[in-house]
Amino acid sequence: MTDLRHRLAQCFSLVFPGLNEPEVYSASSASVAAWDSMAAIILANVIEEEFQVKLDYNVLPDLVSFDLIEDYLKSNGNGTS
């Protein structure tokens, strides 16, 4: 498992404490009832702090799953293992 995936999973666990580990890695706004617009902003803030990045509000509506966020972070220079 990459360091990025592990750190991102920690962010998800913090924002969605009800998810178990497999659920975290497959999480999406469709599968997680608590993933509403407020939770999306909280998740973005936590990710910003963890990865020292600035997530654009404009891209938040597109970042609707663990995988998509992982891809976004990798494509923005946070793909270190």
Partner 1 sequence: MQFREALKTIQENSSTNRPTCRVLLVTGFTPLHLQTFLQAHLQRLLPTKQLVVSTRLYGDLAETLFGIESSTADMCAVALEWPDLDPRLGFRQLGGWGPREIADILVGAESRLVTIRESLAAVPSHVPLAFSLPTLALPPIFHTPSWQLSAAEIRLRNAVGELALRISEKPNIRFINAHSQQVAEPPAPIFDFKGELLAGLPYTSSHADRLGQLLAQILVPAQPKKGLITDLDDTLWAGIAGEIGPQSVSWDLASNTQLHGLYQQLLRALAEQGVLIGVASKNDPDIVEAAFRRNDILLPRDYVFPVEVHWNAKSESVAKILDTWNIDADSVVFVDDSSSEIAEVQAAHPGMECIRFDAQDYAGAHSLLYRLRDLFAKPTITEEDGMRRESLRTGGVFRAGAQQHGASYENFLREAESKITPDFNNAAANRRSLELVNKTNQFNLNGIRYTESEWHSKLSLPGSFSLMVSYRDKYGPLGVIATLVGQATDAALTVNTWVMSCRAFGRRIEHQCLKLLLERFPAPEILLEFAPTKRNGYLREFSESFLGQKPDGPFKLSRTVFLEKCPMLYHQVEMDHD
DSSP of 6-26: HHHHHHHHHH-TT--HHHHHT
24 binds partner 1 (CB under 8 A): no
Question: Which one of 19-27, 28-36, 42-50, 69-77 is the stretch in contact with partner 1 (CB under 8 A)?
Answer: 42-50
Total residues at interface with partner 1 (CB under 8 A): 13
2 binds partner 1 (CB under 8 A): no
The alpha carbon of 62 is separated from its chain's Cα centroid by a whole number of angstroms, namely: 12
Spatial distance between the Cα atoms of 35 and 2, rounded to a whole number of angstroms:
24
Q: Are 59 and 34 in contact (CB under 8 A)?
A: no
**Sole binder of partner 1 in the list 6, 57, 59, 62 (CB under 8 A):** 57
- Per CB under 8 A, residues contacting partner 1 are 11, 14-15, 17, 38, 41-42, 45-46, 49-50, 57-58
